[in-house]
Structure 1
Amino acid sequence: MNALDLSRWQFGITTVYHFVFVPLTIGLSVLVAGMQTAWYRTRDPVHLRMTRFFGKLFLINFAVGVVTGIVQEFQFGMNWSEYSRFVGDVFGAPLAMEGLLAFFLESTFLGLWIFGWDRLSPRLHLATIWLAAIGTNLSAYFILAANSWMQHPVGYRINPATHRAELTSIGKVLTNSTALVTFPHVLFGAFLTGALFVVGISAVHLSRGRDTVLFRRALRAGLVVGLVAAVGVTVSGDVQARIMTKQQPMKMAAAEALYETSAPASFSLFTIGSLDGSQEVWSLRVPHGLSFMATENPNGRVEGINDVQRRYEAAYGPGSYKPVVPVTYWTFRMMVGLGLAAAVLALAGLWATRRGRVPGGRWFPRVALAAMTLPYLADTAGWIFTEMGRQPWVVAGLLRTRDGVSAVGSASVITSLVAFTLLYGALAVIAGGLMVRYARQGPPPETETRDGEPLPAFTY
């Protein structure tokens, strides 16, 4: 493998690993804030213990996510210096805003939340966790704005002397139509991840007869949030598909293995293609399905891979502008299928726990634990689809991936790739061990109160 392939593998591994922690941080931040709000309004110690328990798991996940996120940003200078040189003036602006505004907000108020249990008034302490949650969600928006610029560049000009992209409107970058539709999709996916995380842990404790009142409330709350989030993911994903059809027709065509332009276009349920992904061998399709999804018209016209390829060759010169079709096709289906499975499980869980019921038997915790993995796998598949489907561009229409890599040898990239993989493996063992340890430990015993205010809630 050459330095380009190795650099892509390293950035892909780093990004996917980091994003394992991101959606849970976003989702749990809001869920924990909601739990503390319930305690503030009712003064029910069950909600306080729930907040403390899931808050501790949230903090562990947040800490690991910060570490992996910092390493990810180092990749731009290490392996993608030409990309950084080309887009730094544009790409750096939303990332700087994320670091100076959003991350500062969430980390500062998260610190106040951790150490302020017996030092701040209940109302002020509640405000700190909500401000931390707002900061976490703002952080996601700025990062998505930067990524959306790579998918659909706006608010820039190319300097003819330096051949660099220069920022002309930060407003256009932050209100990029791609970012506006991607943000709710990512948020709903994060809420689904956090909700099913709460459901899985609660189900295990319920199956062992521990704190049934607390964990049944947590279970029901997680199932409700999970179902609402699953609906939100579906609706926002539908809107995103239409934007993608207009802005990145090759990605949509590859996602459906649609080789020839069609009107109407059918939706592929299952397609077998050639090994090189250059043509369809056999497929099972839903008539008019893709036309409706991509254009809101059951007879709408959708461009195929071959026509987009010819159009891009005329615009950008000779070369292949097709992504790896099998990867794009199957990751899209994994994302959609796993998301729908999570919605079905959330709905089934609400039915199984209706009217105060607590499901018995071994099947319930096993299904709930399996459900925890679905949003993670869907999130991962979605990001692989998003980034692989953009290839061969690192910035759509402006800079090819091969032109953004650093001028380093394969040996250097192999060294850093092996080092990162080993370090991330060790970090996964540590983080996973901590999460399992504190999840098994369960919520702390009910604390004494003084004048209606809790004593210190976090003891490590």
Structure 2
Amino acid sequence: MDVVDIARWQFGIVTVYHFLFVPLTIGLTALVAGLETQWVRTRNPEYLRLTKFFGKLLLINFAIGVVTGIVQEFQFGMNWSDYSRFVGDVFGAPLAIEGLLAFFLESTFLGLWIFGWDKLPRPLHAACMWIVHLGTLASSWFILAANSWMQHPVGYRYDAETGRAELTDFAAVMFNKVQVYTFPHVIAAAYLTAGVFMVAVAGWLYVRDRQTEDRPMYRRAVRIGATVALVSGLAVAISGDLQGKVMTEVQPMKMAAAEGLYETQESCAPFSVFTLGTPDGREEKFSVTVPCLLSFLGTGSFDGRVEGIDDLREAYAEEYGQDPGTTYYQAADYVPVIPVTYWSFRFMIGLGMTAAAGAALVLFATRRGRAPTGRWFRLLLIGLPLGALGANSFGWIFTEMGRQPWVVFGLMTTDHAVSPGVSAAEAMTSLVALTSLYAVLAVVEVKLLLTAIRQGAAPHVEPPDPGRVREDDEPLTFAY
């Protein structure tokens, strides 16, 4: 493999690994904040115990996510310096704001939440976690705005003398049409992920602790998580449908590659649920299709026109010309890897729909005090979080691989973005080192989570309330 292959593999591994933690962190901050708010409102000790229990799991996930996220940004200067030089003026603003505002907001108020149980009034303490959640949303907005610019560059001008894209309209970058639909899709997927995670954890403890008085508490958590997951699943489907139409507008090749559609369909383009064919997807051996569905996904009309790969390849070659520097891709090919885009698109949709359907099944199985404990329920508890995490990962694989051979659509190809001074041996060394480190971190993460989960929710201990009005005859205490 040459340096482009190695750099792409490293970036893909680091990105997918890091994004295993991101949606869970975003969703869990909202769920933990909601649980604590309910405790403040009702003084029900079950909500306090669940708040601290899932708060501990959140902190474990947050810590590992921060470590992997730092490496994510260092890669831009390590293997992608030409890309960084080209987009630095555009990317600098949102990434700086994300780091200085959003991440500092998260970390500061998370620290207040951790150490402020006996120092902050209860409503203020609960508000800290809501602020952490707002910080994760803000962080997601700025990161996704930067990524959306790669999908649909706007608000810039190209300086031929420096060979760089220069920011001219910050608002256009922040409210890019791709960003407007990508953000709610990603956040809804994060809530779905956290919801099924809560279902799995609380459901396992519910099944395990059959003879304890904690079962009603875990059952409550199961139903809360399943409700959040089901509602979020509907939001994922709606936002994903809208996002697909914008994607077809700005990157028609990505939609064509998602279906392996080589010939333009003037109307009623079918969508294949499953296909067996040649590796490039050009010749079909067997398929299960839904008539006209691809037209609806891409245009909003069952009679909509969907452009094919062959016509788009010719159009791109005419618009962008031959690419004399291309090494990884054939000159003027402009076609992503069809099997990857085809199957990642279906795994994203299939796993996401399965997770939402599983949440609906859990709600049905636990209705009116029912207590499922069968083998099918245990397998469902294992499959739900894995399915949601898989849907997130395949979604990003499709988003990034479907844009290829562009690193910035229409402006820079991927093989022009790598660092010119990095050799294949150096890139391979960093790939092996980071992959090995992440394997160790994966073991640590799973071990810590499983240990905390097995311990279950700690017994109820009422924390002191610094905001309580002191009685006249109550002795004073000195704190420092």
The reply to whether TM is greater than 0.5 is: yes
- Which residue of structure 2 lines up, in the alignment, with residue 395 of structure 1? 408
Q: Structure 1 unaligned segments of length 5 or more: list them.
A: 455-460
Of 200-209 and 42-51, more deviation after overlay is shown by: 200-209
Query: 1:29 touches 1:58 (CA, 8 Å); kept in 2?
Result: yes
- Which residue of structure 1 lines up, in the alignment, with residue 345 of structure 2? 332
Letter in 2 for 1:96: A
CA deviations 1:51-86 (Å, max 9, x no partner) are 000000001100100000000100000000000000
Query: 1:259 touches 1:280 (CA, 8 Å); kept in 2?
Result: no
- Which residue of structure 1 lines up, in the alignment, with residue 224 of structure 2? 221
Query: 2:33 touches 2:126 (CA, 8 Å); kept in 1?
Result: yes
Structure 1 residues 255, 451: closer, same or farther in 2, change over 3 A?
closer
- Answer yes or no: is 1:418 the counterpart of 2:421: no
- Which residue of structure 2 lines up, in the alignment, with residue 52 of structure 1? 52
- Which residue of structure 1 lines up, in the alignment, with residue 295 of structure 2? 291
- Which residue of structure 2 lines up, in the alignment, with residue 312 of structure 1? 316
Of 243-252 and 445-454, more deviation after overlay is shown by: 445-454
Query: 2:118 touches 2:463 (CA, 8 Å); kept in 1?
Result: no
Equivalent of 1:405 in 402, 413, 418: 418
Give the Cα separation in 2 of the matches to 1:227 and 1:262.
35
CA deviations 1:130-179 (Å, max 9, x no partner) are 00110011101110000000000000000121110000011000000101
- Which residue of structure 1 lines up, in the alignment, with residue 471 of structure 2? none
How big is the shift at 1:452?
9.2
Give the Cα separation in 2 of the matches to 1:450 and 1:22.
32
Give the Cα separation in 2 of the matches to 1:279 and 1:15.
33
Query: 1:332 touches 1:381 (CA, 8 Å); kept in 2?
Result: yes
How big is the shift at 1:285?
2.0
Structure 1 residues 412, 354: closer, same or farther in 2, change over 3 A?
same
Equivalent of 1:427 in 441, 447, 471: 441
CA deviations 1:294-332 (Å, max 9, x no partner) are 111111101001111010000011321000001000000
Letter in 1 for 2:169: S
- Which residue of structure 2 lines up, in the alignment, with residue 67 of structure 1? 67
Q: What are the residue-to-residue correspondences of 1:116-265 with 2, within 5 Å?
A: 116-208=116-208, 209=210, 210=212, 211-264=214-267, 265=269
Structure 1 residues 2, 311: closer, same or farther in 2, change over 3 A?
same
How big is the shift at 1:368?
1.2
Identical-residue share of aligned pairs (%): 58
- Which residue of structure 2 lines up, in the alignment, with residue 350 of structure 1? 363
3-state DSSP class of the match of 1:375?
A: helix
- Which residue of structure 2 lines up, in the alignment, with residue 368 of structure 1? 381
- Which residue of structure 2 lines up, in the alignment, with residue 377 of structure 1? 390
- Which residue of structure 2 lines up, in the alignment, with residue 88 of structure 1? 88
CA deviations 1:380-413 (Å, max 9, x no partner) are 1000000000000000000000000012111101
3-state DSSP class of the match of 2:21?
A: helix
CA deviations 1:105-128 (Å, max 9, x no partner) are 111100000000000000111111
Q: What is the TM-score normalised by the length of structure 2?
A: 0.93
- Which residue of structure 1 lines up, in the alignment, with residue 474 of structure 2? none
How big is the shift at 1:449?
4.8
Query: 1:259 touches 1:279 (CA, 8 Å); kept in 2?
Result: no
How big is the shift at 1:263?
2.0
Structure 1 residues 448, 41: closer, same or farther in 2, change over 3 A?
closer
Q: How many equivalent pairs are there?
A: 454
Query: 1:155 touches 1:172 (CA, 8 Å); kept in 2?
Result: yes
3-state DSSP class of the match of 1:269?
A: strand
3-state DSSP class of the match of 1:285?
A: strand
Give the Cα separation in 2 of the matches to 1:451 and 1:58.
23
- Which residue of structure 2 lines up, in the alignment, with residue 458 of structure 1? none
Query: 2:155 touches 2:173 (CA, 8 Å); kept in 1?
Result: yes
How big is the shift at 1:278?
4.5
Structure 1 residues 113, 450: closer, same or farther in 2, change over 3 A?
closer
Work out which of the two has the higher radius of gyration on C-alpha atoms and give 1 or 2.
2
Query: 1:89 touches 1:166 (CA, 8 Å); kept in 2?
Result: yes
Structure 1 residues 279, 89: closer, same or farther in 2, change over 3 A?
farther
Of 357-366 and 14-23, more deviation after overlay is shown by: 357-366
- Which residue of structure 1 lines up, in the alignment, with residue 476 of structure 2? none
Give the Cα separation in 2 of the matches to 1:340 and 1:101.
34
Letter in 2 for 1:441: Q
Query: 1:36 touches 1:48 (CA, 8 Å); kept in 2?
Result: yes
3-state DSSP class of the match of 2:20?
A: helix
- Which residue of structure 1 lines up, in the alignment, with residue 328 of structure 2? none
Give the Cα separation in 1 of the matches to 2:388 and 2:419.
34
3-state DSSP class of the match of 1:243?
A: helix
Q: What is the TM-score normalised by the length of structure 1?
A: 0.97
Query: 2:77 touches 2:84 (CA, 8 Å); kept in 1?
Result: yes
Structure 1 residues 452, 85: closer, same or farther in 2, change over 3 A?
closer
How big is the shift at 1:360?
2.2
Query: 2:118 touches 2:465 (CA, 8 Å); kept in 1?
Result: no
Give the Cα separation in 1 of the matches to 2:423 and 2:136.
37
How big is the shift at 1:280?
4.0
Query: 1:195 touches 1:222 (CA, 8 Å); kept in 2?
Result: yes
How big is the shift at 1:279?
4.5
Query: 1:201 touches 1:369 (CA, 8 Å); kept in 2?
Result: no
Letter in 2 for 1:360: T
Query: 1:220 touches 1:353 (CA, 8 Å); kept in 2?
Result: yes
Letter in 2 for 1:44: N
Letter in 2 for 1:375: A
- Answer yes or no: is 1:15 the counterpart of 2:15: yes
Give the Cα separation in 2 of the matches to 1:308 and 1:352.
49
3-state DSSP class of the match of 1:56?
A: helix
- Which residue of structure 2 lines up, in the alignment, with residue 107 of structure 1? 107
CA deviations 1:338-360 (Å, max 9, x no partner) are 11111111111111000122212
CA deviations 1:395-452 (Å, max 9, x no partner) are 0000000000012111101111111011111111111110110011111111145469
Query: 2:248 touches 2:298 (CA, 8 Å); kept in 1?
Result: yes
Structure 1 residues 86, 214: closer, same or farther in 2, change over 3 A?
same
